[in-house]
Structure 1
Amino acid sequence: MRNRPRIAVVYMLAASLLLVGMDGLVKWLADDRGYHVTQIAFLRYFVCLFIALGLARMSPQGLGGLHTRRLPGHLWRSVCNLITMLTFYVSLQLIPLPNAVSIGLAAPIFMTMLSIPLLGEKVGPGRWVAVGAGFIGILLIMRPEGDVIEWGSVSALVSAVFWAFTLVSSRQLSSSESTHTILFYYALTVVIVLGIAMFWFWRTPPLEDALLFLAVGIAGTCGQFCLNQAFRYGEVSMLAPLDYTGLVWAMILGALIWGDWPTTYMLAGSGIVIACCLYILRSGKRA
């Protein structure tokens, strides 16, 4: 593993864009086209499995490079990521895309805490303040009202917690495992587990929807690839806040496709979040 923060930042920004684009497609398929989230997740990683195999075959080690001695680590990451994905897809069905993404951006708070005991990283007081301020910005975007619990918001928050575990485990595995190996074992786990569920949830898609499923798989796989590469070259505590940039793309997609225009509170919160990201980038560069 090498410490190359600039390359890590580029990979992280690309991952954020690709994954939010995929989230938009997932919301379209689940909310507008009526597909069950389990089928969406299964087809996404069915495509991912073949891409991972192709990447492995093109690598110097070939398919033999998929051999691993860290199977428990892969299984733990797979379980965390599977819970992350399904709970987030449920939230996409129930609440607007920007809201789901904004709640999911609470993950850096958990990531920063987890990076200390699990990875031994040092987090300076400036980053702590920036991450805390970023969370305040997210609260402004969410702007909870009333006493009624929105299960879509709860589902998104659960997703954020397990997403933090997923990202930290990605950093741990990247110390010895190739990116395509990480993708392969996760995709294989999802295909096996959710493949069983297809006996109840499968619905044969027409060609138009099949192309959308293919786009979901490609965008998700490329996003995961960039994500794993980012944590190969940079620290969790530095990269975590860059997830906030996905909020900008979510706001744009939400407004253009579903008419969910950002409120004044959402714009104010987004400004705080972006300012925190810029600060942490500068502090990470000085470190």
Structure 2
Amino acid sequence: MTQTNNVRAGIALMIAATIVFALQDGISRHLAGTYNTYMVVMLRYWFFAAFVIALAARAPGGLAAAARTRQPGLQILRGLLLAGEICVAVYGFTILGLIESQAVFICYPLLVAALSGPVLGEKVGWRRWSAIGVGCVGVLIILQPGMGVFNPWAVIPLISALMFAFYGLLTRYAARQDSTATSFFWTGIVGALVMTCIGLWFWEPMVPRDWFWMGLLCITGVLGHWLLIKCYEMAEASAVQPFAYFHLMWSAILGITIFDETLRPAVVAGAGLVVAAGLFTLWRERRQG
């Protein structure tokens, strides 16, 4: 992947990606609220697998080059983790809604920072640990344990964030030997295979209008990944990553206007702390880089 240094274009692409991913979350919530989550994720992965196969076939070396890896066990584990994380996240949307789920899920960059030491052997200094602590306080404010209003289902997006953090760390580890194209290929193929083995047992007939939404879900999934790829081609990750938090804002707008969700003051305060801690962590990584 050849990278340029057009920060403005990179920021624009990142914001566009967050809009697409928020739309994807909204469609996922609608479909998973009507049909089984496993079936919805399975159909989404079928389209994703077709996309990565088409992408690999057009690349130099074709499918054989994309599938070539010296760490198949790690690549399979990555694919399983992401497929499981998507199932957990989509199920969380149906139980808690978009706002509550995304407000907790955005702590995953802090989990990546905390786990980068034991998993990747990276040094985690006291400033980063302080930011992680602030982010944990933000999550606790959102969840409100011990306040008489704690919903045990609120741990679902926390589990999703933890799974996604491990997936991100394993992706960084895999990048030491495999290319981005190889990791992308294995992610789509492994996810499609495992979700087919599970999802076919939960097949439900879908009404015609929901096939339209299913098709749109598949398109937004591929478009979101394409926008991210182009974004990181345009600019360094440290320059554009802070704008990924726009995802929370778009999800809140969708949740309020389409799904009649409410925005609790605790969610605003807690999410603000999590975002602030995440931005500080990104700033520290950029300075050290």
TM-score > 0.5, shorter chain as reference: yes
Which residue of 2 is the match for residue 101 of structure 1?
102
Could you tell me which amino acid in structure 1 is paired with residue 135 of structure 2? G
Deviates most, 200-209 or 14-23: 14-23
The percentage of counterpart residues that share the same residue type is 26
Structure 1 residues 240 and 282: alpha-carbon distance in aligned structure 2, compared to 1, 3 A threshold: closer
Cα distance per residue 1:37-92 (max 9 Å; x no partner) = 00111011101011111211222232232232221111111121122112222211
Q: Does 1:29 align with 2:31?
A: yes
Structure 1 residues 234 and 2: alpha-carbon distance in aligned structure 2, compared to 1, 3 A threshold: farther
The answer (yes or no) to whether the contact 2:143–2:151 under 8 Å persists in 1 is no
The answer (yes or no) to whether the contact 1:48–1:221 under 8 Å persists in 2 is yes
The answer (yes or no) to whether the contact 1:87–1:156 under 8 Å persists in 2 is yes
Match of 2:21 among 19, 22, 30: 19
State how far apart, in whole Å, the 2-side matches of 1:159 and 1:75 are. 18
Cα distance per residue 1:182-220 (max 9 Å; x no partner) = 233222223222223344321233443222212222322
Could you tell me which amino acid in structure 1 is paired with residue 23 of structure 2? G
Task: Name the Cα RMSD after superposition.
Answer: 3.4
Compute the displacement of 1:99 (Å). Answer: 0.8
Structure 1 residues 47 and 244: alpha-carbon distance in aligned structure 2, compared to 1, 3 A threshold: same
* Residue segments in structure 1 that go unaligned for 5+ positions in a row: none
Could you tell me which amino acid in structure 1 is paired with residue 57 of structure 2? R
Cα distance per residue 1:122-154 (max 9 Å; x no partner) = 333333322322332233333346567635323
State how far apart, in whole Å, the 1-side matches of 2:80 and 2:149 are. 30
Cα distance per residue 1:231-281 (max 9 Å; x no partner) = 99658xx99877644322221111111121322222223333333344334
Structure 1 residues 228 and 276: alpha-carbon distance in aligned structure 2, compared to 1, 3 A threshold: farther
Matches within 5 A, 1:11-160: 16-31=18-33, 34-69=34-69, 70-144=71-145, 150-160=151-161
Could you tell me which amino acid in structure 2 is paired with residue 76 of structure 1? L
Matches within 5 A, 1:174-189: 174-189=175-190
Secondary structure in structure 2 of the residue aligned to 1:258? coil
Deviates most, 44-53 or 117-126: 117-126
Deviates most, 91-100 or 190-199: 190-199
The answer (yes or no) to whether the contact 2:53–2:63 under 8 Å persists in 1 is yes
* Residue segments in structure 2 that go unaligned for 5+ positions in a row: none
Could you tell me which amino acid in structure 2 is paired with residue 183 of structure 1? F
Count of residue pairs the alignment pairs up: 282
